[in-house]
Amino acid sequence: MGLRRQFRRLPPIAWRDARLAELRQSERSLRSQLRELQDGASRDSRDLALELKRAQLQLATVVGERDRAQAILRDPKYTPREPSWHTRVAEQTRVGRYTARRDTEREYPRFRLEEKLHNYELARSYGVPTPRVIGSWPRIEEVAWQELPESFVVKSDRGYSGTGVLPLRRHGDRFRLIDSEDELSVDEIVSRFRQARHVTGPYFVEELLPGTGAVLPDDIKIFAFYGEVADVMVRRVAKHADLASFSYRFLDAEGTDRGQVKERLRHDPGIEVPRDLGQMVEVSRVLSTAVPVPCLRVDLYQVPDGMVLGELTFLPGSSETYTVEHDRLLGRLYDEAESRLNLDFARGRPHAMVFGPHSRDLSAPIDTAGFGAAR
| Model pLDDT for residues 71-86, shown as the tens digit of each residue | 655 567 888 889 999 9
Q: What is the 3 state secondary structure string of 115-147?
A: CHHHHHHHHHCCCCCCCCEEEEECCHHHCCHHH
Query: Could you state, in order of their start, the residue ranges of all structural domains in the chain?
Result: 3-74, 132-208, 219-374
| Model pLDDT for residues 112-163, shown as the tens digit of each residue | 999 999 999 999 999 999 999 999 999 999 999 999 999 999 999 998 766 7
State the Cα torsion 322-278-344-360 to the nearest 10°: -110
Question: What is the rounded CA–CA span in Å between residue 300 and residue 363?
Answer: 19
Fold of domain 219-374: D-amino Acid Aminotransferase; Chain A, domain 1 (3.30.470)
Question: What is the rounded CA–CA span in Å between residue 106 and residue 357?
Answer: 24
| Model pLDDT for residues 311-369, shown as the tens digit of each residue | 999 988 778 889 999 999 999 999 999 999 999 999 999 999 999 999 999 999 877 66
Model-level pTM? 0.77
Question: What is the rounded CA–CA span in Å between residue 9 and residue 4?
Answer: 9
Contact yes or no for 231/250 (Cβ under 8 A)? yes
Contact yes or no for 129/363 (Cβ under 8 A)? no
pLDDT for residue 12 is more than 50: no
